[in-house]
Amino acid sequence: MSQYKCFAVQQHVDVTVVHLLDQRMLDRLMINELRDELLNLVDTRQPEKLLINFGGVTHLSSEAIGALLSCWKHLAESGGVMRLAGMNENVREVFRITRLEGRVFDIYDTADKALARF
């Protein structure tokens, strides 16, 4: 069983893959827990390559984006790279509107495509 509540972790060669578990990332307490767990993962595993798979996520709040930004910054400070994948069109549109796609986050249609680009 995973030590994390908000996601499952899978190692794919040299890429740490995080599979988000909650469909609706709207609850402030859950988002804070997600942020804390992601930061813990970065601190303990120290991945050079991190892929966040949004597979089943259907809704996302701006606070969730803030949690991802915190993780991205923390990872970048140690020389790591983060990519995002598997978003439905509604979730991806949030990243487009906030102008984070392409500027901060590299986003791919599928986890396989993201893995191939590392």
CATH number assigned to the domain with residue range 7-117, chosen from the 4 options 3.30.750.24, 3.40.50.300, 3.40.1020.10, 1.20.120.1690: 3.30.750.24
Q: For the segment 42-97, what is each residue's pLDDT rounded down to a tens digit?
A: 999 999 999 999 998 999 998 999 999 999 999 999 999 999 999 999 999 999 99
- Helix (DSSP H) and strand (DSSP E) numbers for the chain: 4, 7
Whole-angstrom distance between the N-terminal and C-terminal Cα of the chain? 27
Cα separation, 72 vs 63, in Å, equals 14
The pTM of the full predicted model, rounded to 2 decimals, is: 0.92
Domain residue extents for the chain: 7-117
